Amino acid sequence: MNEATLANTAPAPTASGIPLRSAVFSTLTEALDYAATGATGFNYYDGRDKLSAVLPYRELRQRALALSRRLASLGRGHRLALVAHTHPDFAVMFYACQYAGLVPVPLPAAVHLGGREAYVRHLRQLIRDCQAVAAFAPAEFVGFLKEASEGLPLTLSGTLDDFLGLDAQADLPPPPAPTDLAYLQYTSGSTRFPRGTMITQAAVMANLSAIFNHGFALTEDDRFCSWLPHYHDMGLVGIVLGCMATQRSVDYLPTREFAMRPRLWLKLISRNRCTISYSPPFGYTLCARRLRPADIEALDLSCWRVAGVGAEMIHPDSLRQVADILAPAGFDERAFLPSYGMAECALGVSFAPVRSGPRSDLIDIDRLSRTGEARPPIEGEAAVKGKAFIDCGRPLPGFEVEVRGARGNVLPDRRCGTVYLRGPSVMSGYFGNPEATEEVLSEDGWLNTGDLGYFADGSLFVTGRAKDLMIIKGRNIWPQDLEYLAEQQPEVRPTDASAFTVTDEDESEAAVLVVQVRETDPGKLASLSVRLKQAIHAEFGIHCLIELVPPHTLPRTSSGKLSRSMARSDFLKRCGEEPQFGFVKDDARLSLPNASVGRGVALTTPD
């Protein structure tokens, strides 16, 4: 780490000492020019809860400007791949690209045990996809990066020190225009078909202004804490860009340290009096599970006014459980702020009102899947199943959001359809991929989000993903629901289940639920399988093929999400058959997955 960062011993303060200007800039460089006149900045903590580096915006600007004179020779508009480890050098490189007019491309910084080869392959694929002219990684990741860049036409692949060895041009490069690209961001989709969203300076600034002013109702007393990866839209756009653009200080905990010691996150919030912190639902659940009563006693979370939740389907019950566990530490359930967004529109689309708490809408799920209508269950009607969907609030100003039916018609309130949106922060397209762009972005600027949802009283409720929807005997069933049911079993952990459909011999869809279990006792496995079938039958009235597999069987995307389409194709491979194969009614064939899973335990129960 650089001498200047180590020389700072106190974390950057909450008060900037300059008037709050909340993302009212036309470019990121204009925003940093202003933030650098104040006292705030980034604080980096390590896994021992020690401050390892401080990077005030003043110093970030100085170092980024100096480096931009060296990056200029790489060519304006060209891509520079950056391994986005939570480290000051990443921030310096990212903002140096801004001043030099280069397009930074954050890459994942997450490697699994024994996962060296897979990670190197993934990096290489992304570097090629964005046609990078150079690539950077902090020292901890540079070995992977160098291997990934071997033989690729890069001017340079190395650490910040290596980039400081480039010749500096005499003059500062001209600052970017609002129409220039600010960054490329790879979405959390498939690793085989990467999609880099192109976001302009104007697009990201418009989204940050809407999020921080309308979403958070930001004040000059706000301070952020974050463990979110810097290659994820919430971590990159929301924190690394958003906090700078609003002169807020951030206390960073590296993602890996959070995964090891989740209580450090809450400890930082409590000690530094942070007011805003975000996480996908699983982060809250992980944290709540690991907390001991003594940890909770030592925390004061009354300062936490916005506990943002997003990035995956939110279950109202899980949030309530987390709130109950944290309540003795002064956590107010009303701090939960559900939101909805995606990398294709920079970050955020809709936010629930601040301090209203998570609100949900109880829906007759049978009616929803039969008719697409989102209506509350009628009281007194026996056997009606209610399901609660979370209120993701109203679309941010400047966005038009429509829920459309299968024929493209705009649906009225309480009718479920595909969510489309148009607005100033929608991406310019997927880099180098006009076909994928055309699939989701119309000529008049409407983005097909691929998500399903409905409006009720102006609020958006997201019910699932359009492409993952299962249609069984004319009924719409959401795979998330089957997975959630599986996760409710004591043997099954969150994200250990994947549901999808396969085509049976009648050419109709049949549901499959693949569940990872650590259990090896055949009797207990059979019992789990029976319970799952019963629960699914009871809740949805459908038959479902259950396959129990050993841990690490289900494929994941770069951001760790399960991929249902990959799980489905793996499942079919285990069956040794192509799609369009009728096995659902054939008990003998049903045992095929069992035989081909290999080591470990597998049990397939025919329906």
Partner 1 sequence: MTELNPATIEHAIRDALEAIRPGNAALAGDADLMQEADLDSIGVMDLVMEIEDRLDLSIPVETLSQARTINGLRAGIVQLSGGAA
Which backbone phi and psi does 74 adopt, to 5 degrees? -75, -15
C-alpha to C-alpha distance for 276 and 274, rounded to whole angstroms? 6
Nearer residue to partner 1 within complex by CB, 10 or 113: 113
Residues 6, 15, 77, 140: which binds partner 1 (CB under 8 A)? Answer: 140
- The answer to whether 76 and 98 are in contact (CB under 8 A) is no
Choices 164-172, 524-532, 548-556, 562-570; region in contact with partner 1 by CB under 8 A: 548-556
Contact between 291 and partner 1 (CB under 8 A)?
no
- The answer to whether 116 and 132 are in contact (CB under 8 A) is no
Contact between 582 and partner 1 (CB under 8 A)?
no
Q: How far is the CB of 134 from partner 1 (least distance, A)?
A: 22
Contact between 362 and partner 1 (CB under 8 A)?
no
Contact between 560 and partner 1 (CB under 8 A)?
yes
Q: How far is the CB of 65 from partner 1 (least distance, A)?
A: 31
CA angle 354, 359, 365 (to 5 degrees): 150
Instruction: List binders of partner 1 among 50-109 (CB under 8 A).
Output: none
C-alpha to C-alpha distance for 547 and 500, rounded to whole angstroms? 12
Choices 8-16, 111-119, 171-179, 484-492; region in contact with partner 1 by CB under 8 A: 111-119
Residues 7, 113, 382, 406: which binds partner 1 (CB under 8 A)? Answer: 113
Residues 21, 493, 533, 585: which binds partner 1 (CB under 8 A)? Answer: 493
Instruction: List binders of partner 1 among 229-258 (CB under 8 A).
Output: 256
Q: SS in 3 state form for 223-292?
A: CEEECCCCCCHHHHHHHHHHHHHCCCCEEECCHHHHHHCCHHHHHHHHHHCCCEEEECHHHHHHHHHHCC
Nearer residue to partner 1 within complex by CB, 114 or 151: 114
First to last CA, the chain: 59
Q: Fill in the amino acid letter for 38.
A: G
Contact between 141 and partner 1 (CB under 8 A)?
yes
Contact between 357 and partner 1 (CB under 8 A)?
no
Contact between 524 and partner 1 (CB under 8 A)?
no
Within its chain, how far is the Cα of 301 from the centroid?
24
Residues 15, 259, 362, 530: which binds partner 1 (CB under 8 A)? Answer: 259
Q: Fill in the amino acid letter for 243.
A: C
Residues 144, 163, 186, 484: which binds partner 1 (CB under 8 A)? Answer: 144
C-alpha to C-alpha distance for 469 and 491, rounded to whole angstroms? 26
CA distances from 35 to 17, 56, 249, 442, 596 (A): 10, 9, 10, 37, 58
Nearer residue to partner 1 within complex by CB, 23 or 83: 83
Q: Which two tokens stand for residue 468?
A: 């993952």
Choices 114-122, 168-176, 500-508, 565-573; region in contact with partner 1 by CB under 8 A: 114-122
CA distances from 224 to 216, 280, 523 (A): 12, 16, 49
Contact between 522 and partner 1 (CB under 8 A)?
no
Q: How far is the CB of 192 from partner 1 (least distance, A)?
A: 20
* Binding-site ranges for partner 1 (CB under 8 A): 47, 111-116, 119, 140-141, 143-144, 256, 259-261, 286, 493, 518, 550-552, 560, 599-600
